Amino acid sequence: MSMAIPTRHSPNFNERPDGARTEILVLHYTGMATAEAAIELLCNPEAKVSSHYVVDEKGYILRLVDEEKRAWHAGVSSWAGERDINGHSIGIEIVNGGHDFGCPPYPDVQMAALEKLCLDIMSRNPISPRNVLAHSDVAPERKADPGEWFDWARLSRAGIGLWVAPEPIVEGPELKLGDRGDTVAQLQYRLGSYGYGVEVLGVYDARTEAVVRAFQRHFRPAKVDGVADLSTVATLHRLLELI
């Protein structure tokens, strides 16, 4: 049975593409001072942004757009070759000030409510663990939410998303902006195999750096610098073994 969730209808949605499968779940932070300000923005027709749900710091959940509709939460984005992320996803805005407001922690009651909501959504939609994503995963050059302090490991223990314990950070060879060669191409291939939107060019360009940073935010959050060190590469390899 689905959760009973109060609704405030946002006007910011349209129809999903014909035959579109809702197979991606994207988690955001609001990045604003208060829940009220975020909800007002998400319901403002001039803003042209929305999400399907909002989860506030006290665990209160509000529906803004029905799941069968296309909410406008992801913007210019891609995952596993799909560029209309809004057309194939459900978006959840988690009330949190984000990087601009000091990276406040996500309260336990909020995370518990988020877990319950995610499991409820996944019970109705064909969303694989691999497709439970950060906004930064699908828009790595533009977005950093829900941030490197978000507890992805907790969600994974609840059956939401993939996770492996990050490999320890150690000294050793690394790949960084400007590097070229087969090892860069191999890294790009592996990131793309997981779903990240990066071309296999053999050049460690700005896009690759942004994708590596997004990967680190989600899966190796202790050091988010866009440099593919041994820890980053080994964590990615272990993650690929799960799919």
Catalytically active residues, by annotation: 93
* Cα 162 from Cα 27, distance rounded (Å): 14
Range 210-231 burial, b when 16+ CB lie within 10 A, else e: bbbbbbbbbbbbeebebbbbeb
E-only strand ranges, 18-140: 24-29, 53-55, 61-63, 69-71, 89-94, 132-134
Q: Is 124 exposed, middle or buried (0-12, 13-18, 19+ CB in 10 A)?
A: exposed
CA distance 139 to 142: 6
129 Cβ partners below 8 Å, 6+ apart?
A: 156, 159, 160, 161, 162
